[in-house]
Structure 1
Amino acid sequence: MKNYSYDTVSEAMKHLAERGYTTDFEIMAEKECLICHQSATNLSPEEFVIDEIYRFEGDSDPGDEMIVYAISSEMHGLKGIVINAFGLYSDPAVYKIVERLKRQV
């Protein structure tokens, strides 16, 4: 697997889209799954993997601290991204699902 390096979240998103990660996933905390609104597909943690993780630290604003996850589901033929803040602004639902996935990777 090739390692990539990005300076900004938008740069990472653009390059990931060029590599086929075009689906925008959203965390559905109450069901502990990802949802793709375009196709109305729900993905449980067993149905997708985290292919790549990119962490961006805000130099001057902690609100700029973000993590971009490149996600794929062979079962559903989907590739996309999940974006989450980390630190003070992080979404605990994303963290919970990511922790479950780390055991699979």
Structure 2
Amino acid sequence: MKVYDTVSAALQDLRKRGFTVDFNLKFDRIHDTGRSDALHVDNFDIIEHYRFEGNSDPADEAIVYAITTKDGRKGVLVHGYGAYSEDISEDMIRKLNVKE
């Protein structure tokens, strides 16, 4: 797996490698910002993930996920974690809890 110093460096490289869709996290789904549909946890896979931790600000903690969907889309999801993370379903927590 590659190593990146910043979230923006990870996003730039993933886009060069074809991960061009922007996904947003919903409670129990991910939403493709370019389409009206949302995908349940069974309809996408996490191919790579990169964790970033801020040196002094807990709000700087994020994970960048490289995602492929069952219908062939490739994109990225950036999700904050820690004290300021969003409320998500148990299924989504399990899906996003990738092992190092």
For Structure 1 versus Structure 2, the TM-score category normalised by the shorter chain is 0.7 to 0.9
**Corresponding residue of 1:22:** 20
CA distance in 1, matches of 2:24, 2:89: 9
Contact between 1:25 and 1:36, CA under 8 Å: does it hold in 2?
A: yes
Alignment of structure 1 residues 24-63 onto 2, 5 Å: 24-29=22-27, 32-63=28-59
The percent of aligned pairs where both chains have the same amino acid is 39
Does the alignment pair 1:11 with 2:6?
no
Question: Equivalents in 2 of 1:61, 1:102: separation in Å?
Answer: 22
Provide Cα deviations, 1:7-46, integer angstroms capped at 9, x if missing partner. 00000000010011111111221xx111112122321111
Matched, 1:82 2:77: yes
Q: How big is each residue's C-alpha offset from its partner over 1:45-67, in whole Å with a ceiling of 9 and x where there is no partner?
A: 11100011100010121111111
TM-score in terms of structure 2 length: 0.86
Quick one: distance in 1 between partners of 2:37 and 2:11?
21
Contact 1:84 1:94 survives alignment (8 Å): no
Alignment-mate amino acid for residue 5 of structure 2: D
Moved over 4 A (4+): none
Give the Cα separation in 2 of the matches to 1:80 and 1:95. Answer: 22
Structure with greater helix share of residues: 1
